[in-house]
Structure 1
């Protein structure tokens, strides 16, 4: 079988990397196409030894995204004429779904984010199946397939992930030393329009308070203020999950990193304006059912909870028990 994967985010690389490896081992042919939102996608693919084809980079603004869609549909169609895939797979890519329909071939998409309404409306009519976590709030009709799991399990379950303690040497921290990872979002995706996270002042406040109790490292999708540059983490991108595993705490305004922390048994505080009555189902479940994360819309409340958590001496042991429950109940 010939399978085309359309990837647009680092999390997509992680989600599909073992699937792609196993398919190739079984003799299937795989083509990877990349929508380069950030160079880390290509860096990750290179680190895993995967070749790829380039699509147009997505840009902010609805008009720009509409133009990009047309360009990428044309580009992907041309790639498909040469590769002739039997199946298209993506994380809610309208490009691969639309091209698959034009070519009369099946398409499978995965999504775990309810706010991607616009993207879903441009994808759902053209795909054959949409796979989501079981508690996904929207009913996507007869094409909807619900599974009892999260996408992060595909690469962070112990069957796949083995933490590398050597990352501590890269960070310059000892095994006994606490450190906090701060992760900040760019909020430039189509479903992020109007969404806010930590402000510049909030980020500085976080660092000032948390460095009283631990080392602090920052991973940011946007340029940091000059006085926070020294905290920027500088490691190979494929080592980030090792960093997250050994961290005492994750604090951020991102989505995927929060779920990843839950799967790795690292306490996580998430803060952005998605949080509220209409928050995404996976974060509600991880907080209310498993107690692995904390969701806040108010930055001051998030900072207060972060200060409380980093001072708890045995929190990683406590979270290991919670993580085990998650691993037992989810695929």
Structure 2
């Protein structure tokens, strides 16, 4: 058995980011251990992909809940890492990774692409041995911060790793006509619909349907009765098949907006939260648009009706450029682990992947 590597998971998106790297590292003889702080469907995804894991903490449920869950999770990470003595411990913006790495003399490696996670970044990134971000990332974290030309989403949506299933739209009741996937986040009550994101939601949906579109909704919580019938039920691991075959993504999720754009699906991202990756996809590659926060029908419907019309061949042509200019992020993760495992215990570590990493 080769070197031991610990991977930490705190969100479903982390499963997608690491899953191919875990398989490749295990194929190269690494002993990979996965620890999870449960959130949403993270454990469900790990089980679907056949990844063995140990659940160390349950879902937080709220900011107050996180204050009680996080210390327990961090204690368990440190305790287990000290016993396992891995060469490398990986995570996405997770403070426990940096702290456990210092205690266990493991090389702590953090990835992130989220500038607005300011508190989390402040208590984790400066303490890690290595920090890797896309080149589009706005912030700077010192000499241990390296940038790579890529996106988290290309760890699992790169054409070498993903081929969409064309039958999925029929599974959500859209056999023909334009299909719009609408993503809404952070529901707590019916009166919160669209707050901070899409404004006047019911009128936006009515306008899309008058245009002839089938609107299907993915939401983190309860929908008001008038919209509930449009909610789709689909196995979690099939969402990227749906995004790839949709004619438009409209929503408040930055990750799903970026995923749609990189799959060649026009994307309208409506939120007050911004990020360097989204700005690059909008300005450099013109693969998505970011209307202002709270925009209603007058602002969201015109581009929503326009974007599907330019999908082919314009969007396909635009998509080829980032795929040519940006690396497969799984290749990066594997290269970083092999480099970090070789550098564990040395100071300072020097990357052996200069073709994809820039300081």
TM-score, with structure 2 as normaliser: 0.83
Secondary structure, counterpart of 1:211 in structure 2: helix
2:290 pairs, out of 274, 278, 295, with 295
Distance 1:300 1:72 in 2: 39
For the 8 Å contact 1:271–1:302, the answer to whether it is kept is no
1:90-169 alignment runs, 5 A limit: 90-169=91-170
Q: Does structure 2 conserve the Cα–Cα contact (< 8 Å) formed by 1:91 and 1:111?
A: yes
Q: CA deviation at 1:154?
A: 1.0
The residue that corresponds to 1:322 in the other structure is 318
- Structure 1 runs of 4+ with >6 Å offset: none
Kept in 2, the 8 Å contact 1:133–1:149? The answer is yes
The 8 Å contact of residues 270 and 295 in structure 2, kept in 1 or not, is answered as no
1:267, distance to aligned residue in structure 2 (A): 0.5
Q: Is the 8 A contact 2:197 2:293 kept in 1?
A: no
Q: Describe the superposition over 1:204-246 as per-residue Cα deviations: whole angstroms up to 9, x where unpaired.
A: 2222111222111111112111221111110100000000000
User: What's the offset of the Cα at 1:312?
Assistant: 5.7
Structure 2: runs of 5+ lacking an equivalent: 189-194, 328-359
> Greater CA deviation, 64-73 or 151-160?
64-73
Q: Structure 1 residue 217 and structure 2 residue 220: aligned?
A: no
Distance (Å, rounded) in 2 between the aligned partners of 1:269 and 1:71: 38
State the aligned residue count.
Answer: 316
Matching of residue 273 in structure 1 with residue 268 in structure 2: no
Taking the TM superposition and a 5 Å limit, the aligned residue runs for 1:19-30 are: 19-30=21-32
> How much does 1:110 deviate?
0.6
Distance 1:134 1:267, change over 3 A: same
Cα distance, 1:303–1:59 mapped onto 2, change above 3 Å: farther
Change (3 A) 1:36 1:108: same
Instruction: Judge conservation of contact 1:292–1:322 (CA < 8 Å) in 2.
Output: yes
Q: Which residue number in structure 2 is paired with residue 192 of structure 1? A: none
Is residue 33 of structure 2 the alignment partner of residue 35 of structure 1? no
Please show how residues 38-117 of structure 1 align to structure 2 within 5 Å: 38=40, 40-56=41-57, 57-61=59-63, 63-117=64-118
Question: Counterparts of 1:109 and 1:306 in 2: how far apart (Å)?
Answer: 39
Instruction: Say whether the 8 Å CA contact 2:134–2:147 is kept in structure 1.
Output: yes
Q: Deviations over 1:78-110 (max 9, x none)?
A: 332443322110111111221111112111111
Aligned 8 A contact 1:133 1:148 in 2: yes
Say yes or no: does 1:179 pair with 2:179. Answer: yes
TM (norm. structure 1) is 0.89
Hey, what does 1:282 align to over in structure 2? 277
Q: Indicate the residue corresponding to 2:197 in structure 1.
A: 197
* Maintained 8 Å contact 2:97/2:109: no
Task: Please report how far the alpha carbon of residue 328 of structure 1 lies from its aligned counterpart in structure 2 after TM superposition.
Answer: 1.3
Higher relative contact order (CA 8 A, sep 6+): 2
Query: RMSD between aligned alpha carbons?
Result: 2.0
